[in-house]
Amino acid sequence: MSETKTVLLVEDEPNIMEALRFVLERDDWRVVTHSDGATALGAITDIAPHVVVLDVMLPNKSGFDILRELRAGQNTVPVLMLTARGQQKDRDMAIEAGANRFMTKPFANRDVRDALNTLIAQ
């Protein structure tokens, strides 16, 4: 961990956002948050984080759409998708849209940390 990595949390539930921020900042992540779907794409491009945590159910635009547009713009930033809808088709859609990892809520904090570290390492 030589340098500080930036993670962008795109999530509209303030409680979940707070929990993740606490857990990741403890691991020395620089945590940036964004809660609106419509402007999330611009935020990702502007902030250029090392990794993105993306919720599916966002106000105004779904996480799938944001990811699809992101990949269409040749942006290869690693993305961890979180969803509260635990069905197989959600997982398939996430992979298809270009997610690097996919996790179902509720998750173990450790799994998120491990997943992000894995994504950074790649």
- In the bound state with another protein, the residue whose beta carbon lies nearer, of 44 and 112, is 112
Residue 30 CA to residue 10 CA, distance in Å, equals 14
CB 31 within 8 A of CB 24: yes
Which among 2-10, 44-52, 67-75, 84-92 is the span making contact with another protein, rule CB under 8 A?
Answer: 84-92
Give pairs for 104-107: CB < 8 Å, separation 24+.
105/16, 107/82
Which residue, chain included where needed, has tokens 């609106």?
Answer: 36
- In the bound state with another protein, the residue whose beta carbon lies nearer, of 99 and 103, is 103
Instruction: Report if residue 39 touches another protein, rule: CB under 8 A.
Output: no
Contact residues toward another protein (CB under 8 A) are: 12-13, 15-16, 18-20, 22-23, 26, 57-60, 62, 84-87, 90, 104-110
